[in-house]
Chain A
Amino acid sequence: VIWMTQSPSLLSASTGDRVTISCRMSQGISSYLAWYQQKPGKAPELLIYAASTLQSGVPSRFSGSGSGTDFTLTISCLQSEDFATYYCQQYYSFPPKFGQGTKVEIK
């Protein structure tokens, strides 16, 4: 079983800020990591897969990095529509699991 630690659980930020969210694994998963965004009352949406590949249509201010055990989601210049909850997901081993989530709120 792979344990996942996503941090922080809550992040207060202002529009225009650069924010980073971390996802750490208990064992290496190569680059089998995805990031999702979920807005209140909405379904999750895929942002990034293979740790760093931007899903079609996702703004370029979003980026992902890392491999092995440590991964990061970065939003380079936070926009009002980016206030949401973000989840990482490993799909290296069964069952695929989601991180605990990071809520990005307005400071």
Chain B
Amino acid sequence: EVQLVQSGAEVKKPGESLKISCKGSGYSFTSYWIGWVRQMPGKGLEWMGIIYPGDSDTRYSPSFQGQVTISADKSISTAYLQWSSLKASDTAMYYCARLSYCSGGSCYLHYMDVWGKGTTVTVSS
């Protein structure tokens, strides 16, 4: 079974750093892009960025460029989303999702076919 298992809920203070994870199983982790999606409380979905674990090619939405860092460790089939200095406005649910397989160019532009259950991040003093 294809699965993305995300790390547990986090409660942090403003200014702290954080790294959340997303472990893939049941498929070839290095052959699919993995993306991150933010959902602030009561709001819609925001596409943050993606990584291709095979070669660590990473693309960010301009809205999130410089605000977060996406990385992956292919040896343990895990993708990460990290912050160096959290703000209260980072409070949200964060989902990882696999981009559906495609061959050819521009595969970073694709829909998301498998989703993790989400990681809640709460930033409060």
Contact = CB atoms under 8 A, between A and B. Distances in A.
Interface in A67-100: 87, 89, 91-100
Contact of A87 (B44, B62, B110): B44
B90 interface: no
A17 interface: no
Contacts of A98: 37, 44-47
B108 interface: yes
A89 B115 contact: no
Interface residues of B, number: 23
Contacts, number: 60
A97 B47 contact: yes
**Interface size bracket, A side:** 20 to 34
Nearest to B49: A95
Nearest to B111: A34
Contacts of B115: 43-46
Interface in B85-101: 95, 97, 100
Contacts of A36: 45, 112
Task: Pick the most buried of A93, A94, A96: most chain B CB atoms within 10 A of its CB.
Answer: A96
Contact of B59 (A46, A55, A94): A94
A92 B106 CA distance: 10
A32 B107 CA distance: 12
A44 B61 contact: no
Interface of B: 37, 44-47, 59-63, 95, 97, 100, 108-113, 115-118
Interface of A: 32, 34, 36, 38, 42-46, 49, 55, 87, 89, 91-101
